[in-house]
Each structure stands twice: as C-alpha cells, then as structure tokens.
Amino acid sequence: MYGKNDSGRHFNFITQSRFLTIPNITLSSAFDTIYLVPLHGAISTYVDDTLNAGDAPFLSSVHNILKNYSTHRPDHGSIQFAGICACSDDAGVHCDAGPYAFTIAALPLTPPLSSPFADPKSLHFLAAKLFWVGPVARPDIPTNATQLANMPSPTGADARRANDTLATLIRLPITLHYPKLDPATLQASVFADYSGSAVSPLPKRQVGFLFALVDASHRFFLLHSASHRPHRVCRGSCAGELLALADAVAAALDVRLLLQELLSRRIPMAAYTDSSAAYDLITSFKDPTDMTGKNDLFMLRRALLDGTIRALHVVHGAQNPADALSKPTFARPAPNDALNEALSSGMLRPLIRAHTTSADYRNAPRPRAEA
C-alpha cells in the first residue's frame, strides 16, 4: 500500500460501499475486486484505480460516484502506461508495446561469446524489462525472458540472445487486438504445451499455455498467457503435458466464471493439446505409468466428465500456438509460428487431429472390473 496513513487502502474501502449503491450491482464471485451488473457493465478496482466498461446508464452511475473525488482523472480512448499503449475504436481495443521497446538499451557484447558474461545482473535486468511487456502486449516474448532470467551462469551467447529478443520486439511490432465478438457463439479455448524430458536440466523445462475467447467466425482475443518453469518435477514429457493442460484449465476457470456472470449465460470451454499420449490418457480409463502426473490426469478427466471442459482436442504440433510459450526462439528445434500467425491474422483455427466431447466421454463404455 502507498500514501500517507494507507490512504489508498482507505479510499478503496470507502468506494466499495458506494459502488454497491448502483442498481442491481453485485460483487463477482470470481474476483473480489470486480463489481458487475449482468448484461450492463463492470467495475474493476485496485487500491485507488478503477477500470469500468458498460452501457451508457451504467457508466453514468459510475461517473456520479467518482466525480466526488478530485483525485481521479478519467482516461478515455487512448491510454499509455509505462510505455504500453492501449487505444479503442469501433472495432475494439488494441494494445501495443512499441514506445516501451525503444526505451530499452541492448547489452554490450565482448568476444568470445562462449565465455561467462561479465555482468549477469544486467542480463537478468534486461530479461525483467522484456518480461514486463509480455502479459500486456507481446505474449511471444515471455518465454525468452523467463529462460534468460533463470540462467544461473549466463555467457556472452546468452547476452546476445537477450539482444536478439529485444531486436525482435522492435523489428516485428505486434499489436494485440481485442475485437468485438459475437456473444451468442463465445467459447473459451485453452491451449497448452510442455517442453522438457526426464533428462532435461531444470532451467530448460518450460510450461506454456494460453486461453482466448473465440466466436464462431474464429476471431479471438487473448485473455491470458503464461510461460514459466513447472512448479513440480515431471519425470516424463507426458506428465509435463498433463501439468501444462491442468494449469491452463485451472487458470481459465475464474475468468470464465466472471464472463458467465457478466453475460448471464454459460460459456463452453475447449482444451487443446498436441500430445497424443496425454490425450489418450485423459480420454481412456488407463492408469498413468508416470505417477507424477496422476493428480493432473484425474483433474482433467473430472473436468471432461462433468462438462467443465466441453471438448478435448489433439492438434498437430505445428498448429499449437502454445508451442511458442514452452520453447524460446533460440531453442533447437525452434518453436512453430502458430502464435505469431494467430496474432497477425486475428484468427485462431488450429487443425484438429482428434477430439472427444464431454458427452462422448460420459457415455463411453467402462472397462469391466476383473473378478
């Protein structure tokens, strides 16, 4: 908290009670900082900052509350914060990291690049700067940043990789688009991938996933992406794939609940993996040989059984956009281009090899118990 005598904290408590005076407003059961009126609008609060969106009557009610505070300066249309730009128009909202990238300086390189880097802290500092832009505007960057930040003994080659990542940020500008989708055909799509094996060093193992809101036209906008080390040891790649998919589904549940509260309708979820082994385990009744993935497997089976996941799909590895979140660009083999293609085209339509729906799984014949 900041401000004299925790002023921001007290401000937050005061405004909470005033927001509740808006007709039919309720506190979201998914997030305790979000208030909403179903089908009309929502308010998100963080200490003394608020973000609100909705129809004209809802916004008018919020304005009548906030106008009593001279500390608030409303921003509309285009907003820039810490170098990240967000603008809105009739097509939707767009986020861009262009101005931020030009404020970052590259690292000095001294040959030979195979020798230890002279200033590891500066490399980790650059990785942290790169990571900042990822969750907001460049989901293709955090994988590199995470790998570089976790280098225990970086070399000059690692510093060059950091500079290459920065150059990519500047040379290939990508704008995240949040278009207006068809509310009647919305679906939450979850993609997950894992990179690593039983013999891979821990810094080289990576979990990556994303989830997006998609409509029948296959237009989408990204709700969340993640790229990080696995939070527990996976003895094999299949257990890692199960962990990544379970993490992705778990991360999507709260956001989906919020959207369902706001739209007053159920939003189905589809999960995608490029691991045939993980898909076969989830859709069968086999026990895993690698017990480190047992809990994730049972969680995913339960989600498919009760309809939390409406359908589970296995896609071609070249079509999985989460691949770029589990492998850095300097990995060999390099990640596919599915994520960049999706971000550039605004369309998310992977090639599906096989799928199982919740209804199919519930009605599948169970194996007979042995006598």
Residues 335 and 255 in one domain: yes
Q: Tell whether 43 is covered by a domain.
A: yes
Q: What is the pTM of this model?
A: 0.88
Q: Tell whether 84 is covered by a domain.
A: no
Residues 100 and 30 in one domain: no
With vertex at residue 337, the alpha carbon angle to CA 335 and CA 340, rounded to the nearest 5 degrees, is: 120
Residues 140 and 253 in one domain: no
Collapsed DSSP state (helix, strand, coil) of residue 208: strand
Residue 71 CA to residue 68 CA, distance in Å, equals 9
Give the residue among 23, 230, 227 at the shortest CA–CA distance from 135: 227
Domain end: 116, 138, 171, which one? 171
Which residues in the chain show pLDDT less than 50?
1-4, 7, 369-371
SS3 assignment for 99-113? HHHCCCCCCCCCCCC
Residues 350 and 206 in one domain: yes
pLDDT at 48: 66
Q: Tell whether 371 is covered by a domain.
A: no
pLDDT at 190: 97
Give the residue among 335, 150, 325 at the shortest CA–CA distance from 225: 325
Q: Tell whether 289 is covered by a domain.
A: yes
Give the residue among 358, 362, 369, 366 at the shortest CA–CA distance from 285: 366
Domain end: 143, 171, 199, which one? 171
CB burial string 117-139: b at 16+ within 10 A, e below: beebebbbebbebbbbbbebbbb
pLDDT at 151: 83
Q: Tell whether 177 is covered by a domain.
A: no
The 8-class DSSP code of residue 228 comes to E
pLDDT at 2: 42
Question: CB–CB of 37/21 below 8 Å?
Answer: no
CA 338 to chain centre: 16
Residues 256 and 188 in one domain: yes
Residues 115 and 159 in one domain: yes
pLDDT in tens, 330-347: 888 889 999 989 988 889
pLDDT at 9: 54
Residues 159 and 228 in one domain: no
Q: Is 6 left (phi over 0), alpha (psi -120 to 50) or beta?
A: left
Residue 142 structural domain: 95-171
Domain end: 171, 192, 227, which one? 171
Bond before 23 cis per omega within 30 degrees = no
Residues 66 and 102 in one domain: no
CB burial string 278-297: b at 16+ within 10 A, e below: bbebbbeeeebebebbeebb
- Looking at the 3D structure of the chain, how many domains does it have? 3
Residues 100 and 140 in one domain: yes
Q: Tell whether 86 is covered by a domain.
A: no
With vertex at residue 22, the alpha carbon angle to CA 20 and CA 24, rounded to the nearest 5 degrees, is: 90
Q: Which are the contacts of 117, defined by CB distance < 8 A and separation ≥ 6? A: 123, 154, 155, 156, 158, 159
Helix or strand holding residue 192 (H, E): strand 187-195
Residue 139 CA to residue 347 CA, distance in Å, equals 15
pLDDT at 181: 93
Q: Tell whether 56 is covered by a domain.
A: yes
Helix or strand holding residue 210 (H, E): strand 206-214
Residues 304 and 350 in one domain: yes
Residue 226 CA to residue 243 CA, distance in Å, equals 13
Residues 132 and 277 in one domain: no
pLDDT in tens, 206-223: 999 999 999 999 999 999
Q: Tell whether 64 is covered by a domain.
A: yes
pLDDT at 200: 80
The 8-class DSSP code of residue 66 comes to H
Taking each helix axis from N to C end, the angle separating 56-66 and 7-19, rounded to the nearest 10 degrees, works out to: 140
Residues 216 and 341 in one domain: yes
Backbone angles phi, psi at 217, to 5 degrees: -85, 0
pLDDT at 368: 61
